[in-house]
């Protein structure tokens, strides 16, 4: 199995835009496969908005792909989102990796946007159907609970003839949603064994629906840090993860050296995962740059040798 390693950001750890672009340029030159931006609209922590970040990356980079991990469809108008994705894909010459999810019921966006959390599943399913049709059809007419369209067009269509749709979430509903609409699946903070269980469930559900998702279109992510779990930036992040999820952060963080990161990659590969989003745990421009440089220098060459691209 060949694998692809991208990098992702949860928050905005840089002191200015200059630090962010320095990091992006390093990833572009260093062979990183893709960049991913976590989607948050309401946050007390500095976080970039996903779609405007995708547009900025389209203009700055020439080789890397990029995606949002993941956009909560219930928070967005599906027609506008479909148009944004199509435009970014056209201007980047086919490098967008759209990823969609249902959104956590605990997210502050529900109250800020005046939305009912009980509608999130239905809104997501309607949005996925509308978006996929707008990307492929000349005119779309649709009568749903939340959206009504009459011969709507969003030309130009995406450059990618079958623009990928990555779906996030590990619930039974997310599995069914991926099997019905998705061309790929991205794990959240699931451990390797749990990610493998979801992959097998999606494969079975897709077969029942008469669909097949490419074997190399299953992804996962984890945080990494070259150093010690006691380092200043790591311990608070691990404590916050434990408090938020009730899980052992050792299953979601790879802290140590290149061997540690490679071992975690291998655990996921054994479960059928081949696309990765790794998140550096470090604050400040120099810290993020140093962690990224270490990954590029010590992990990417070993991963390419262990799992060569077809």
The mean pLDDT value for 252-268 works out to 97
246, pLDDT greater than 90: no
pLDDT of residue 10: 87
2, pLDDT greater than 90: no
pLDDT of residue 304: 96
- What does the block give as tokens for 114? 């005046």
Give the span between the Cα atoms of 82 and 74, in whole angstroms.
13
pLDDT of residue 162: 82
The mean pLDDT value for 242-260 works out to 92
Strands (E), 123-217: 140-143, 148-152, 166-168, 184-186
Q: Model-level pTM? A: 0.94
Q: pLDDT tens digits for 176-234?
A: 999 999 999 999 889 999 999 999 999 999 999 999 999 999 999 999 999 999 999 99
pLDDT band for 283, please (50, 70, 90 cuts).
confident
Please provide residue 151's backbone torsions phi and psi, each rounded to the nearest 5 degrees: 50, 55
Mean pLDDT of the chain: 95
Contacts for 40 with CB less than 8 Å, ≥ 6 apart: 47, 109
- What does the block give as tokens for 203? 């494969």
The mean pLDDT value for 64-85 works out to 96
The mean pLDDT value for 82-87 works out to 98
Side-chain half-sphere CA neighbours of 230 within 13 A:
0
pLDDT band for 309, please (50, 70, 90 cuts).
confident
Q: pLDDT tens digits for 192-201?
A: 999 999 999 9
The mean pLDDT value for 149-160 works out to 97
């Amino acid at each position: 199995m060949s694998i692809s390693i991208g990098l992702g950001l949860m928050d905005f750890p840089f002191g200015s835009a200059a630090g962010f672009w320095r990091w992006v340029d390093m990833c572009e030159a260093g062979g990183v496969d893709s960049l991913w931006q976590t989607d948050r609209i309401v946050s007390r922590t500095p976080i970039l908005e996903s779609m405007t970040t995708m547009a900025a990356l389209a203009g700055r980079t020439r080789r890397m792909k990029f995606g949002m991990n993941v956009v909560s469809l219930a928070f967005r108008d599906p027609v506008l989102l479909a148009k944004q994705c199509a435009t970014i894909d056209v201007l980047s010459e086919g490098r967008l990796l759209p990823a969609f999810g249902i959104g956590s019921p605990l997210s502050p966006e529900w109250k800020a946007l005046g939305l009912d959390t009980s509608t999130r599943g239905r809104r997501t399913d309607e949005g996925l159907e509308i978006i996929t049709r707008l990307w492929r059809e000349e005119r779309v007419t649709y009568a749903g609970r939340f959206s009504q369209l009459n011969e709507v067009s969003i030309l130009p269509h995406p450059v990618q003839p079958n623009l990928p749709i990555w779906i996030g979430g590990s619930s039974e509903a997310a599995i069914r949603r991926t099997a019905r609409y998705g061309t790929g699946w991205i794990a959240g903070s699931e451990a390797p064994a749990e990610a493998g269980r979801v992959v097998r469930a999606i494969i079975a559900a897709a077969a029942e629906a008469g669909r097949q998702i490419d074997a190399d279109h299953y992804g996962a992510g984890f945080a990494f840090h070259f150093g010690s779990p006691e380092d200043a930036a790591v311990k608070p992040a691990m404590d916050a993860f434990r408090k938020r999820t009730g899980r052992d952060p050792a299953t979601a963080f790879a802290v140590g050296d290149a061997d540690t990161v490679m071992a975690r990659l291998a655990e996921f590969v054994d479960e059928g995962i081949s696309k990765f989003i790794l998140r550096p745990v470090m604050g400040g421009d120099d810290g993020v740059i140093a962690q990224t440089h270490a990954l590029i220098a010590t992990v990417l060459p070993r991963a390419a040798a262990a799992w060569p691209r077809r």
